Amino acid sequence: MEPLSAAFELRLDGVVLDESSVANSPMLPYVRMVVSLIEGVEFTCREVVHLLRQSLRQHSIGAGSRNDYLLGFLHQHPP
């Protein structure tokens, strides 16, 4: 498993979700419980943060056209 030092950040309509806020969130134990129930395997909070980090990796460019990706990026990062 990767160490938690590798930072990640998710931006959704002005809300920024970074690794430290996820790792220190009071909701993390509940998310861990739900993930454990869905998967049928017990996870630690650290493992859930790792799973969230993996899910935040960029996959959007393969799902849409290049223009859609570029326009979405420019919308999030205006010049």
- Cα 38 to Cα 29, 31, 34, 43: the distances in Å are 14, 11, 6, 11
Q: Is residue 26 part of a domain?
A: yes
Report the pLDDT value the prediction gives residue 22, as an integer from 0 to 100. Answer: 77
Q: Is residue 42 part of a domain?
A: yes
Q: What is the pTM of this model?
A: 0.51
User: Quick one: which H or E segment has residue 11?
Assistant: strand 9-12
How many distinct structural domains can be found in the chain? 1
pLDDT-derived band at 13 (thresholds 50, 70, 90) equals: low
Residue 55 domain boundaries: 9-76
Sign, CA dihedral 37-43-44-45, equals: negative
Give the angle subtended at the CA of 21 by the CAs of 17 and 24, to the nearest 5°: 155
Q: Is residue 52 part of a domain?
A: yes
Q: Is residue 4 part of a domain?
A: no
Q: Is residue 54 part of a domain?
A: yes
Mean pLDDT, to the nearest integer, of 35-46?
91
Higher pLDDT, 26 or 64: 26
Tokens coding 73: 């990026």
